[in-house]
Chain A
Amino acid sequence: MKPTPLTIAALAAVVVTYIRAIFFTPIEAVQGPVQKIFYIHAPAAWVAFMAFGLVALASALYLWLREDRLDRIAESSAEVGVVFTTVVLTTGPLWGKPVWGAYWTWDARLTLTLFLWFIYVAYLVMRGALDDRAMRARYSAVLGILGALLIPFIHLSVYLFRTLHPRPIVMKPSAPSLPSEMLTTLLLAFGAFTLLYIALLRARYRYAVTRDGANPAEEHRAS
């Protein structure tokens, strides 16, 4: 597939952001260079949550309107979301080891992100295990909505779990006010990642359209 202008623009924005993040943003005094991983970690987390929000929205709309397009959007957004969640779960421990002293802690937000990853990986596996297109769309929409309903419950239970049994090693700093250079870089990274998300979502969506277009016979089999 030929890269679209949007994809090129998104990749360029990411490159520019990281040139700025690496060379033109001051090094954090306490954490050192490792803090720069946050210019990947935080925007990736933002994109992941946005992607899964779109899955829930498209799923609910699908059950209402029964538009194939909505199912394809949910499918594409879930896949891109899982990729960005994987980035979050990889960069987090890389930062956590030097700063917290451990790759993993059972902090509420970490645990929630891990379960998000599990839910949407299961979502993608289920999609792959269903051949009937109409059934796949209905099942996926149901799971997409239930997954969104589950998130506050997981958050609440792991949060209560943490606060009822505090452990001393969690040295999570309360959000410090960032110097303006860092803030600009972080905002740039958010913008670049959002653009990248849209570009990837569109590319993945186009793939789904091509794939479904190649097997039109399947379309009306079950309905």
Chain B
Amino acid sequence: MRSILADAWLIARKDLAIEFRTRSAFLSAVVFALLAIVIFFFAWDATAVAAIDLAPGVLWVIFTFSGLLGMHRSFGVEQPDRAIDGLIASPIERESIFLGKAIASLAFVLAIQIIAIPAVGLFYNLPLARVAVPLSLITFLAAIGLVAVGTLFSAMAVNTRLAELLLPMLALPFFVPIVIPAAQATAKLMSGRPVGDAFAWLKLLVAFDIVFVVACTLAYPFTLEE
């Protein structure tokens, strides 16, 4: 177990080093998130719908789509020169490859949210500081589920003829039980309700995370050739 996690960390560090040196995916995802925040504002009549009613939806739609951008990168970087074959041939458990990829993607998704969520607060004039702690917790829980499912489908989608076109089609139905609880819990918090009111939604998020982190980690080796 110790070595599985140590190896996973090694893979994650490799991916993050690549991303840190190029910063291409990160920058494009951040700019995408900011653009989406601005465009969403004009999709509603601001005099008829209060910003505080829009914000949870905007926040989680952007979270999902900017997350998807990062997910495609996850195994996409292993495609040139068939680098994935080197990873598979290395003396590392396949579960570690998956967990390492997922950890790197988790860091990626959270880094985008560290910019995107305050930006939503800024542009929509929301009192985010008041709910900062519970909102961070929801984001973290939602990101774990998103990354687990997204990493597995990224590994599968890159090998299909449709590549990045297939990923949203596969992954979005799986994001429904993440986005609904996250958006609902956020709406409750922002309207000043106590954290306890959002508890049923948080439980659903935790259950989703546990089931899909385990299921996707176990399923990943099956997607590789024997």
Give A contacts to B, CB under 8 Å: 63, 115, 118-119, 122, 125-126, 129-131, 134-135, 138-139, 141-143, 145-146, 149-150, 153-154, 156-158, 160-161, 164, 222-223
Determine if A160 and B200 form an interchain contact, defined as CB atoms under 8 angstroms apart: yes
Q: Does B98 contact A (CB under 8 A)?
A: no
Cβ-defined contact, B215 with A146, below 8 A: yes
Q: What residues of chain A lie closer than 8 Å to B76, measured between beta carbons? A: none
> Is B190 located at the chain interface by the 8 A CB criterion?
no
Interface residues in B5-29 by Cβ distance below 8 A to A read none
Interface pair B173/A161, CB less than 8 Å apart: no
Given A125-B166, A126-B160, A130-B160, A153–B204 Cβ distance below 8 Å?
A: yes
CB neighbours of B223 from chain A (8 A): 138-139, 142
CB pair B173–A154 under 8 Å, yes or no, is yes
Measured between beta carbons, the chain B residues less than 8 angstroms from A154 are 173, 176-177
Provided the pairs A129-B161, A135-B159, A145-B219 are in contact, do residues A222 and B173 lie with their beta carbons within 8 angstroms?
Answer: no
Question: 1/0 per position for B197-212, CB-CB distance to A under 8 A?
Answer: 0001100100110011
The chain A residue with its CB closest to the CB of B220 is: A142
B170 near A130: Cβ-Cβ < 8 Å = no
Q: Which one, A126, A146, A150, A160, contacts B219 given CB within 8 A?
A: A146
Q: Does B222 lie within 8 Å of A63, measured CB to CB?
A: yes
For the complex, is B180 an interface residue (Cβ under 8 Å from A)? yes
Interface residues contributed by chain B, number (CB under 8 Å) = 32
Q: Which 6 A-B pairs have the closest CB atoms?
A: A153-B177, A129-B160, A157-B180, A129-B162, A157-B177, A129-B161
B204 contacts A157, CB within 8 Å? yes
Residues of B within 8 A of A (CB): 149, 152, 156, 159-162, 166, 169-170, 172-174, 176-177, 180-181, 184, 200-201, 204, 207-208, 211-212, 215-216, 219, 222-223, 225-226
Q: Is the CB of A153 within 8 A of B208?
A: yes
- Other A-B pairs, 15, CB within 8 Å; known A130-B160, A146-B212: A115-B173, A115-B176, A122-B169, A125-B166, A125-B169, A126-B160, A129-B166, A139-B160, A142-B152, A142-B156, A142-B219, A153-B177, A153-B208, A153-B211, A222-B225
Identity of the chain B residue whose Cβ is nearest the Cβ of A134 in the assembled complex: B225
Q: In the complex, which of the residues A131, A153, A156, A223 contacts B226, with contact meaning CB atoms closer than 8 Å?
A: A223
> Looking across the interface, which residue of chain B has its beta carbon closest to that of A120?
B173
Q: Are B177 and A126 in contact (CB under 8 A)?
A: no
A126-B156 contact, Cβ under 8 Å, with A153-B208, A157-B181, A223-B226: yes
Q: Are A141 and B184 in contact (CB under 8 A)?
A: no
Q: Shortest CB–CB separation between residue B84 and chain A, in angstroms?
A: 13
Alpha-carbon distance between A145 and B174 when the two chains are bound, in angstroms: 13
Chain A: CB-nearest residue to B149: A146
Q: How far is the CA of A198 from the CA of B89 in the complex (A)?
A: 44
Q: Please, which residues of chain B bring their CB within 8 A of the CB of A135?
A: 159, 225
